[in-house]
């Protein structure tokens, strides 16, 4: 957009119980972010001066958590029907009669600045703006038992989306005239019934409404992601013992690795690789060796923590590759079990996990049997910012 948008406000309807989506979908995570947060962020970024999020009674804390850290929004308790919720939002907003107000479904997360701009611009030409998509599929009428009984002309039909835009007074007056015993599917219907002209503007295919559980899979697939790579390296010294922990497995051996935790160099290198991929420092930042809490700790705890940070960012681990460098013990007999253990800890497919081993031909500290070294690489997909 070249010119800035005129001042506008927004009502985001997040009061649904979401029975068809299997739970209140507006609070569910999509790409690591609550569904409602996607559109509230989009509205604030586009310059909305006041965003009222209408929630059902008792959901105020969920809204506060979902929108934590954002400024320029507030929660308002809605009513039983959508009409009541939007009216409550408008009352809370207030402002001059000609204030543009966008009413948006929280369940449509992928709201673009372009759609917002088109809606507001259309208010120069009509009493309301309705983003919509043409109907691409042919339409059929069918009997309740699924037998087709004729086609429906799709020429003049549109799939309505949100946000729908009106001036504050237009929408408030239209609601005042709306029959109390009727329910309206959307605000354009209310304004149209009151005699207003509502103009269709170009919607967005990505502005889909999350309705059914499978819609979330489709929405996740629509989120642009960036591939990130991290690497890690770790060394532990050999000392007296009877077994050694490597890649989450305890292997009988005539020595052990010395360390503050269980000294599993494979898991430490891999934990650092994952932390590296997401720019979250290193294992020592998260689990300081000076803290007695981690004395003798099983290192799968560290790896799980790193994987959890990826999940919290809406990311996923694509693959990991660990190389153990030592003369002894022989790693090969344990490789498959190590891969299985890593796949289990990280909750990723087995073919996304590689464990390799090499000697250093008798050279260096690993060759002399003074210590074991481990290297790891991890690739992670994170939602693009």
Which residues of this chain interact with Mg ion, rule CB under 5 A?
234, 268
**How far apart are CB 363 and Mg ion at their closest, in Å?**
22
Cβ proximity to Mg ion: between 199 and 268 the closer is 268
| Residue matched to tokens 């309505």 | 160
* DSSP per residue, 87-115: HHHHHHH---TT-EEEEEETT-----HHH
CB of 298 to Mg ion, least distance (A): 13
Start-end of H helices in the chain = 35-45, 60-66, 82-93, 113-122, 168-177, 187-193, 213-222, 265-277, 283-286, 300-312, 335-346, 364-367
**Own/partner pairs, 186-192, CB within 8 angstroms, 24+ separation:** 186/82, 186/103, 186/130, 186/160, 186/162, 187/86, 187/103, 187/128, 188/128, 188/130, 188/160, 188/164, 190/83, 191/127, 191/128, 191/166, 192/128
DSSP per residue, 198-246: EEEEE--TT-----SHHHHHHHHHHS-EEEEEEEEEEEEEEEE-SEEEE
Give me the phi and psi of 84, to 5 degrees please.
-65, -40
Reduced DSSP (H G I as helix, E B as strand, rest coil) percent helix, strand, coil of the chain, to 5 = 30, 30, 40
State the Cα–Cα distance between residues 139 and 327, nearest whole angstrom.
Answer: 70
Q: How far is the CB of 255 from Mg ion (least distance, A)?
A: 16
Alpha helices (H) in 14-106, listed in sequence order: 35-45, 60-66, 82-93
Closest approach of Mg ion to the CB of residue 265, in Å: 6
Q: Quick one: 187 or 234, whose CB is closer to Mg ion? A: 234
Of residues 234 and 300, the one with the C-beta less far from Mg ion: 234
| Closest to Mg ion by CB, 268 or 335 | 268
At its nearest, how many Å lie between Mg ion and the CB of residue 238? Answer: 13
Which C-beta is closer to Mg ion: that of 120 or that of 283?
283
User: Which residue number is nearest to Mg ion in terms of Cβ?
Assistant: 268
**Bridge partners (DSSP) listed for residue 104:** 12
Nearer to Mg ion, 105 or 234 (CB): 234
Shortest distance, position 129 Cβ to Mg ion, whole Å: 59
Give 70 or 258: the residue with its C-beta nearer to Mg ion. 258
Residue closer to Mg ion (CB basis): 10 or 269: 269
What's the closest the beta carbon of residue 235 comes to Mg ion, in angstroms? 7
CB of 299 to Mg ion, least distance (A): 8
């Amino acid at each position: 957009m070249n010119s800035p948008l005129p001042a506008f406000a927004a009502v985001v309807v997040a009061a649904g119980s979401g029975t068809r989506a299997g739970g209140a979908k507006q609070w569910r995570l999509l790409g690591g972010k609550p569904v409602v947060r996607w559109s509230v962020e989009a509205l604030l970024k586009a310059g909305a001066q006041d965003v009222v999020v209408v929630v059902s009674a008792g959901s105020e804390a969920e809204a506060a958590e979902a929108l934590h850290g954002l400024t320029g929004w507030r929660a308002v308790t809605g009513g039983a029907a959508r009409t009541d919720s939007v009216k409550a939002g408008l009352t809370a907003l207030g402002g001059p009669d000609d204030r543009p107000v966008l009413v948006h479904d929280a369940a449509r997360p992928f709201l673009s600045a372009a759609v917002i701009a088109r809606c507001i611009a259309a208010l120069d030409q009509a009493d309301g703006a309705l983003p919509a998509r043409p109907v691409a599929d042919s339409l059929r009428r069918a009997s309740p038992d699924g037998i087709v009984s004729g086609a429906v002309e799709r020429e003049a039909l549109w799939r309505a989306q949100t946000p729908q835009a009106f001036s504050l007074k237009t929408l408030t007056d239209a609601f005042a005239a709306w029959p109390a015993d009727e329910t309206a599917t959307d605000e354009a219907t209310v304004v149209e019934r009151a005699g207003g002209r509502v103009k269709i503007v170009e919607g967005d295919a990505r502005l889909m409404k999350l309705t059914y559980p499978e819609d979330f899979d489709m929405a996740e697939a629509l989120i642009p992601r960036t591939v990130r790579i991290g690497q890690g390296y770790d060394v532990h010294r050999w000392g007296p013992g009877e077994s050694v922990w490597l890649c989450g497995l305890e292997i009988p051996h005539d020595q052990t690795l010395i360390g503050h935790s269980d000294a599993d160099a494979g898991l430490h290198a891999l934990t650092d690789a994952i932390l590296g991929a997401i720019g979250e420092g290193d294992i020592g930042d998260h689990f300081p060796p000076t803290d007695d809490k981690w004395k003798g700790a099983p290192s799968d705890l560290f790896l799980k923590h790193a994987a959890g940070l990826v999940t919290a960012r809406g990311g996923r681990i694509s693959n990991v590759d660990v190389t153990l460098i030592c003369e002894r013990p022989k790693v090969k007999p344990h490789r498959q079990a190590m891969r299985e253990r890593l796949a289990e800890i990280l909750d990723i497919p087995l073919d996304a996990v590689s464990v390799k081993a090499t000697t250093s031909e008798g050279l260096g500290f690993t060759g002399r049997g003074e210590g074991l070294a481990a290297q790891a690489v991890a690739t992670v997909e994170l939602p693009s910012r």
